[in-house]
Amino acid sequence: MISQVAENVWKLDADSNVYFLNFDKKIIIDTGRRSNRNLLEKYLPKVVDFSNIEIVIFTHLHYDHIGNFDLFSNAKFYASKQEIEDFKENRNNTVLDENIVDIFNVELTKLPENIEGLEVIETPGHTRGSICLWYEKDKILFTGDTIFRNKRITGRTDLPTSSPDEIRESIMKLLDYNFKIICPGHDY
């Protein structure tokens, strides 16, 4: 189902969550698992047309966050510089699903430090190129797989492009933000 998190922020609950931001430009944060495509098709059109999405931001490029990229045919796709480099170097290790690698044919643009009022926070750990996004107005932190709602739980750091030595520092960095709401990649 889809629920409103803040005035212009929506959350599609799935195994891997998808967020819709109704800003001046319409933004999607992560696109979920391919196997949850039916959920996106059922619920997202209640709040936005796929064709009106101009920006898709990936917190990282694991298969369960990029799986439905192709629903957003008019969007520009963003990931961190590090994540894009890792993807170019070793697609399978960066995506972790060969079937998704085979179809993932988008042009990735390097994230700027700020995008449409969202601050991009580099949080290496779960993957070297993982990022979180800070929405100051409503004090919302989009955390991907870096931390989950229970702040003591963090994403795995034993995957091929993980950086276990850096996760602690990344979490400390996040705790400096006075967030009211965490919007994680999974509801753990």
Binding footprint of Zn ion on the chain (CB under 5 A): 62, 145
The span from the CA of 34 to the CA of 68, in Å, is 6
CB 60 to Zn ion: min, Å:
6
Residue indicated by tokens 């850096």 = 166
What is the C-alpha end-to-end distance of the chain, expressed in Å?
17
Nearer to Zn ion, 11 or 60 (CB): 60
Nearer to Zn ion, 26 or 62 (CB): 62
CB 85 to Zn ion: min, Å:
17
Nearer to Zn ion, 25 or 34 (CB): 34
Nearer to Zn ion, 33 or 62 (CB): 62
CB 45 to Zn ion: min, Å:
26
The conformation of residue 63, written as its DSSP 8-state character, comes to H
CB 133 to Zn ion: min, Å:
15
Residue nearest to Zn ion as judged by C-beta position: 62
The residue type at 47? V
Sign of CA dihedral 84, 146, 97, 92: positive
Determine the length of the chain.
188
